[in-house]
Amino acid sequence: MVKITIIGTGNVAYHLGKRFKEKGFDIAEIVGRNAEKGTQLATLFHTHFQNNFKKIKTDSDLYIIAVSDSAIENVAKNMAQSLDNQLVVHTSGSIPSTVLQPYFKHYGSFYPLQTFSIGSQPDFDIIPIFINAIPSFSLSPHGQDFTDFLKKIALKISPFVYELSDEKRIVLHIAAVFVNNFTNHLYTIGEKIVAQEGLPFDVLKPLIFETVNKIQKHSPQDMQTGPARRGDTVTIEKHIDYLGENTPPQYLDVYKILTDSIIKKS
C-alpha cells in the first residue's frame, strides 16, 4: 500500500487526504501546527497527528505539503530536519517547486486545479491535476521514475493528469485567478448593485448559472453578448452615469476596463 504523509491541516489537506483515503492509500501521518484541526484530520483518515517536525516518519512514499503559499518554504526547512532523500511535493499553483530544492533531492508539485472549501464536496472525477517532478527522470529511492510515480498516484484520484512545468503552472494559475477569483468579485459587485434596489442576490442566480451553462458546449468568445459586444454606446453611457453617481469608484473602473476589453476583442 502506498504511504502518503500530508503536511497541512487546511481545506486542501482535508479534501486531498479524504480522496487518497477513499482510493485505498495509507495516510502515514498528518503533520502540522494546528493540533485541533490536525487531530480531527488524523481521526478521519485513521492515522495520527504529528506536530514535531523532528519526529516525522521517514518511510512514506510521498510527502505532500498542502499549506498556504507563504508557509511552504518554512515548512520545507522544518521537514528537512528529518527528511532528505524522500519525494516531496507541494500543492501550490503559484509557487515554483524549486522553492523545495535547497531541502530535498527529489521535489515537485502536485496541483489540483480547484478551489477547495470545507462546505463543498469537490468532484475529483473531473478535477485536473498538474504534476511536476524534479529531476523528472531520476530514479526515486524506490527504484521508480519520479514523474511516472507521481502520475500513477495522481491517476488514482483523477482521470485528468497533466505534466506541467513550474512556468506553465504559474500561467495556469493566472487563468484560474481570472475565471475564479475575478468572476467571484463580479458576483459580489452584482450582489451589491441589486441590493441597492432592494432586490435579493437570488434574482441574478439563474443568469449566472446560464452564463456558465453556455460555456459547457461553446467557446466563451462565441457566447459574448451585452452592450459592449454590440457597441451600444448609448446603454454604456447610461451605465457609466449610474455607476459614477451611485457606487464606489472601483465599480466604475471595473465597468470601464471590462467594457473596453470586450470592445477591443470584438
Binding to a second copy (CB under 8 A): which residues in 75-114?
94, 113-114
Are the CB atoms for 52 and 27 separated by under 8 Å? no
CB burial of 89-114 (b: ≥16 within 10 Å; e: otherwise) equals bbbbbebbbebbeebbbbbbbbbbbb
39 vs 20: CA distance, rounded Å: 17
User: Minimum distance between the CB of residue 39 and a second copy, rounded to whole angstroms?
Assistant: 25
Q: Does 243 bind a second copy (CB under 8 A)?
A: yes
5 vs 29: CA distance, rounded Å: 5
221 is written with which cell numbers?
A: 468568445
38 vs 17: CA distance, rounded Å: 12
User: Minimum distance between the CB of residue 81 and a second copy, rounded to whole angstroms?
Assistant: 26
Q: Does 44 bind a second copy (CB under 8 A)?
A: no
Q: Does 254 bind a second copy (CB under 8 A)?
A: yes
Nearer residue to a second copy within complex by CB, 27 or 164:
164
User: Minimum distance between the CB of residue 99 and a second copy, rounded to whole angstroms?
Assistant: 11
Q: Does 118 bind a second copy (CB under 8 A)?
A: no
Residues 45-74 that bind a second copy (CB under 8 A): 68-70
Q: Does 35 bind a second copy (CB under 8 A)?
A: no
Nearer residue to a second copy within complex by CB, 23 or 185:
185
Residues 126-185 that bind a second copy (CB under 8 A): 126-128, 160, 162, 164, 168, 170-172, 174-185
* CA dihedral angle for residue 48, residue 130, residue 94, residue 40, rounded to 10 degrees: -20
